[in-house]
Amino acid sequence: MSESASSNKSSVESKVINVILPDGSTRQLSSLSTGEDLAKEISSRLLKDSIGLEINGELADLKTILKDQDKVKIITIKDAQSLEFLRHSTAHILACAVQKVYPQAKITIGPVIQDGFYYDFYIPDTNLSTEDLPKIEAEMQRIVDAGLEFRKIQITNPDEQIKEFIQQGEKFKAELLEKFKAENPTQYGLFHPPSPEGGANQDTSLSQDPVWSDLCRGPHIANTKQVKAFKLLSVSSAYWHGDEKQESLQRIYGTAWFSKADLEAYLQRIEEAERRDHRKLSRQHELFSTHDEAGPGLIFWHPKLAFLRARIEEFWKDLHEDNGYELVFTPHIARRELWETSGHTEFYMDNMFQMKQIDEQEYLLKPMNCPFHVLIFDSTRHSYRELPIRLAEMGTVYRFERSGALHGLARVRGFTQDDAHVFCTPNQLVDEVCAIIKLIDIVYSKFDLKYSAELSTRPEERIGEDGIWDMAENALKKALEQSGLAYQLNEGDGAFYGPKIDFKLQDALGRSWQGATIQVDFNLPNRFELKYTSSDGNLEKPVMLHRAIFGSLERFTALLIENYAGAFPFWLSQKQVAILPISDRHNEYCKEIKEALKKLKVRANIDERAEKIGAKIRDAQIEQIPYMLVIGDKEIDEKKISVRDRRKGDLGSMSIDDFIESLK
């Protein structure tokens, strides 16, 4: 190094920068300091637990060089974000291992997902199965034990790197780099750490060749030894870019945790989730089916689940009529012109089903109910005195989902939404949102479901003036605060047509499901030129709220099946009481009991099969009937019943009146 170059480097290092910590305090560091240097200065314990950084709201490697006035949070293993670093890094370790076990494998992408990660591979002449996962895991463990360092490699000449990818046969990485080459692209390499004894590994510069590298933005953990516990879970198929016309890929799913205890707890949850899988329980209890003859993603509700659905719809209907909603019904199809006016053909056409021309007109199956409710509102001129107008419908809609994305009741092509739209004045907006929040709480309390709320604000690409967005966002915030509902702020994630509140449901296993949504819409009132007559006689534009509580009956029912593990609450059970005679001579007394229960509208069935009582109890238990009444000679003599609860077991002998009172 020349004297002047040395002098310039010393000058840079002698400068002082100030970084801002989460509590608002500042720390002075020398220029070129990294997040690792910051953690070390704060405490040795913090350095030990450090995984990465959050700099100005963006995640970054621990060794990222800090700049003056950066807002820096050090991510430790106690922070939820640390799992993103861990799992993303473990996905790279998986990819490295797969290419060592299968040299012909080509790599694509490997994102973090809830509770884990996956990586997609193109592997000619090889079909992976779960039996192949142990040998891949063994290679991953060797990489972990080697203590390889993750280091960022700046791509200075993307075009040269694309050529190199193509020469290596990594066509997928070449395609990705071609797409993102203008965005300061980087690679991450796995490097052997410097040897403390000196020698070949002493040089820590990036001139060393990596053991393996991958095109990636990062961020990552510092060393593979930080991966304490991981497990590969399953293998499935996928398509490049999710396009069925592209290459067929093989996807490996996995999970990673910072301790073996956390991994074991997660695997137990997975085992319980598999036991509760609504598709598996459906086969056991004959709840629903799909049929190739009809088409994938179209649900056939069998009697037991159809009964549950009918009870939910009755509850929904009564609740909405009691809360000022008017029920409507709308068609399943409409001419293309309607969807052009609403904007669906411009923004949503790939998800819509088209029909052949009818009377020389093109019709489309409806993917949403909102334009139909708009037409109902617009069919009459309304005064401000009539507002708010609340229209609600259990409306079946149709959306094209890729066949690979279909999943039982949770992801389908035809589903029923508990859709409602509120047309109100700006001054009524807060009260209407508060009323919807109250309604949501009533519904979820009925099903014993916990929930949380997120407020999503204006995205970069949006319609409407900032003043309108200010009004709408402030109204949603005020409604949340008046309702006493804690919420998380999800900045920039609102719809292009307005801000929204999303509700996340938590099931018995702690899993999160998308629940209700409340959305303010500036788009449709503009497109359909909706008006109402104001108090001064002028025509004004109404505020429109989209609102769903269940979301879709199909997905909500999938949640209920898994949450209750098929043991539905008493009010949702098609069979509430199973009356089990020990022999035929007990049948007459069983009929008396059934009639007494029927008068109270309790749904009871007598099992008159020529089976032993043990088999009858077992079958009723498998069917998850809430109560079983065992009737024999003793019960007849004492004018009592022997009661069993599907969860608590034998409740003992009691009179029919006492049992009825307990049901009340």
Instruction: Provide the annotated active-site residues.
Output: 370, 399, 417, 419, 421, 500, 546
DSSP-derived secondary structure letter, 64: P
**Block residue for tokens 């106690």:** 78
- Dist CA 472 CA 16 (whole Å): 44
C-alpha dist (Å) from residue 46 to 43, 65, 150, 228: 5, 18, 20, 19
Cα-based distances in Å from 124 to 105, 250, 252, 269 = 7, 10, 16, 35
**Residue 220, C-beta contacts closer than 8 angstroms, at least 6 positions apart:** 52, 61, 85, 88, 89, 92, 150, 188
For residues 395 and 416, the answer to whether their CB atoms sit within 8 Å is yes
How far CA 264 is from CA of 8, 267, 458, 588, in Å, comes to 53, 5, 41, 53
Query: Helices in 232-391 by DSSP H: which ranges?
Result: 260-276, 278-285, 303-322, 336-342, 344-347, 370-378
Beta 363-365 vs 333-335: how paired, if at all? Answer: antiparallel
Which residue has tokens 């969807």? 339
CA dihedral 106, 108, 114, 116 (to 10 degrees): 30
DSSP code at position 630: E
Token duo for residue 623: 């069917």
Alpha-carbon distance of 569 to 539, in angstroms, equals: 50
